[in-house]
């Protein structure tokens, strides 16, 4: 079987067909043109098998937990904690924005939810305090990509499902890179704030003020502790952890009286709708992967890569460039589902640890969410702020430089990603 379906896939996606349908249409049309309609049964079987998966049940539960946290006003308590600890830094509100994203990442695992929730609150506040609107939107977009890197992470669950890698290992491997991304953005923000004369957000908080802020946000802040502690210690699986997170979020919201029983039907409906979209996409990608295997495309790509270089470091450079280009046009989830089965076996042949490559790929494609021309969080930030995407993109350039620096560091210093997994027995 040829690889004509790749060109069909690119063509129909360019014409505007949704990714999930394109992943089924391209191999289906290719099989028809080659007279191999008998393989249609394989497509439908793999579509169902891709959805019928216990590990994937973690995705709707994590989405429910994130939606509850977002609606119940927990975002405000995270911002208050951030302000108490770093509000006195140069460019304080921008620093608060970044630290809040790091804290929110441990609750939602979604860049879009992070950008929307924090953007609505902090972009107007930053503009009132002397920041330009485009800078406020750029900081929000740049920091929101931390969401899928610091666990829990939806795209890591997708990668683990497709590539048969430990979810717990991926979560452990993502902690330090996520902190590194946030720290690098804070350093760049300090530099830009000093250069432009941005003020601090508040006076240095007293210990009692810090204590009150932490006390108010204590139960939400315990969410990642419970999740990661339970998963990494083996108390429960990632799917069970997701269910615990959803239940825990609901309990907190009712304890704090920020949610009522009347709001539950709409909450469950929105979560079910979003989950259905993702799971259908996963099923389509699994069916697409089956055709990829039949076509021999992975072997052809591997042979091409080997013909270019036999050096693992050079191979990682080439793959990073490819992922950066793909990330400019395709969301992280679909890109992982399409490219994971192709690139994963190649790097294994070169002796690169699967966990290490998984984090490199996830971080790289997540950066694509904030990269023009099709970066999703750029459009969310533009929608929230009312600023043009092109102006936000220009203001994002220093932060994109930090993102690229982190990608280089985690690519060529494996210890950043592999230390925690090795300590916890995942590698």
Say yes or no to pLDDT of 353 above 70: yes
Q: Which two tokens stand for residue 204?
A: 């240095």
Say yes or no to pLDDT of 396 above 90: yes
Residue 217 DSSP one-character state? T
For residue range 160-216, what is the model confidence (pLDDT) as tens digits? Answer: 888 888 888 999 999 999 999 999 999 999 999 888 888 666 678 888 888 988 888
Q: In the structure, what pLDDT confidence band is assigned to residue 252 with cuts at 50, 70 and 90?
A: confident
216-236 mean pLDDT: 81
Residue 165 DSSP one-character state? -
- Residue 202 is predicted with a pLDDT of 67
- Residue 298 is predicted with a pLDDT of 65
359-374 mean pLDDT: 89
Alpha helices in 296-388 (DSSP H): 297-308, 312-327, 332-349, 354-367, 376-385
Q: Out of 3-7, 53-57, 279-283, which region has the weakest mean confidence (pLDDT)?
A: 3-7
- Residue 343 is predicted with a pLDDT of 87
Enter the pTM of the model: 0.83
Please name the residues in contact with 87: beta carbons below 8 A apart, sequence gap of 6 or more: 93, 95, 96, 200, 201, 202, 203, 205
- Residue 245 is predicted with a pLDDT of 84
d(CA 295, CA 289): 10
Q: Which two tokens stand for residue 203?
A: 């006076």
The pair phi, psi for residue 150, each rounded to 5°, is: -75, 125
Please name the residues in contact with 394: beta carbons below 8 A apart, sequence gap of 6 or more: 134
For residue 55, how many C-alpha atoms fall within 13 Å in the half-sphere facing its CB?
A: 19
Q: Which two tokens stand for residue 70?
A: 């977002």
Relative orientation angle of helices 92-108 and 111-128, to the nearest 10 degrees: 160
- Residue 17 is predicted with a pLDDT of 85
- Residue 4 is predicted with a pLDDT of 67
260-279 mean pLDDT: 86
Q: In the structure, what pLDDT confidence band is assigned to residue 220 with cuts at 50, 70 and 90?
A: confident
Say yes or no to pLDDT of 256 above 80: no
Say yes or no to pLDDT of 360 above 90: yes
- Residue 84 is predicted with a pLDDT of 85
Say yes or no to pLDDT of 20 above 90: no
Contact 232, 172 (CB under 8 A): yes
Across the chain, what does the average pLDDT equal?
A: 85
Say yes or no to pLDDT of 134 above 80: yes
Q: Out of 17-21, 73-77, 140-144, 321-325, which region has the weakest mean confidence (pLDDT)?
A: 73-77
Cα separations in angstroms, 202 against 33, 83, 89, 177, 416: 66, 8, 8, 29, 34
d(CA 420, CA 427): 9
Contact 282, 45 (CB under 8 A): no
- Which is higher by pLDDT, 150 or 106? 150
């Amino acid at each position: 079987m040829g690889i004509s379906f790749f060109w069909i896939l690119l063509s129909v996606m360019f014409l505007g067909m949704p990714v999930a349908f394109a992943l089924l249409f391209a191999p289906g049309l290719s099989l028809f043109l080659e007279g191999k309609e008998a393989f249609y049964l394989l497509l439908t079987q793999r579509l169902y098998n891709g959805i019928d998966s216990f590990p994937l049940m973690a995705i709707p539960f994590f989405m429910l937990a994130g939606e509850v946290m977002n609606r119940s006003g927990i975002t405000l308590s995270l911002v208050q904690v951030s302000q108490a600890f770093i509000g006195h830094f140069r460019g304080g509100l921008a620093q608060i924005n970044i630290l809040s994203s790091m804290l929110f990442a441990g609750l939602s695992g979604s860049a879009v939810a992070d950008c929307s929730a924090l953007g609505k609150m902090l972009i107007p506040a930053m503009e009132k305090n002397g920041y330009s609107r485009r800078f406020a939107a750029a900081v929000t977009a740049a920091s929101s990509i931390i969401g899928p890197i610091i666990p829990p992470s939806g795209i890591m669950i997708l990668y683990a499902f497709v590539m048969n890698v430990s979810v717990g290992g991926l979560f452990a491997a993502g902690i330090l890179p996520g902190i590194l991304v946030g720290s690098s953005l804070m350093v760049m923000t300090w530099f830009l704030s000093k250069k432009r004369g941005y003020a601090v957000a508040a006076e240095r908080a007293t210990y009692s003020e810090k204590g009150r802020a932490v006390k108010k946000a204590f139960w939400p802040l315990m969410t990642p502790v419970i999740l990661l502690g339970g998963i990494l210690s083996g108390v429960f699986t990632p799917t069970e952890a997701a269910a615990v997170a959803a239940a825990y979020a609901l309990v907190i919201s009712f304890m704090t009286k920020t949610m009522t029983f009347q709001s539950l039907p709409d909450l469950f409906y929105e979560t079910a709708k979003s989950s259905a979209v993702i799971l259908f996409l996963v099923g389509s990608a699994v069916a697409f992967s089956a055709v990829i295997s039949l076509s021999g495309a992975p072997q052809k790509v591997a042979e091409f890569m080997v013909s270019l270089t036999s050096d693992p470091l050079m191979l990682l450079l080439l793959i990073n460039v490819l992922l950066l280009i793909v990330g400019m046009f395709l969301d992280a989830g679909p890109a992982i589902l399409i490219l994971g089965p192709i690139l994963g076996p190649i790097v294994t042949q070169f002796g690169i640890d699967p966990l290490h490559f998984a984090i490199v790929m996830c971080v790289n494609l997540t950066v694509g969410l904030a990269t023009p021309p099709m970066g999703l969080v750029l459009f969310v930030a533009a929608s929230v702020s009312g600023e043009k995407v092109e102006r936000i993109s220009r203001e994002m350039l220093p932060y994109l430089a930090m993102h690229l620096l982190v990608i280089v560091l985690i690519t060529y210093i494996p210890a950043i990603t592999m230390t925690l997994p090795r300590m916890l027995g995942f590698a």
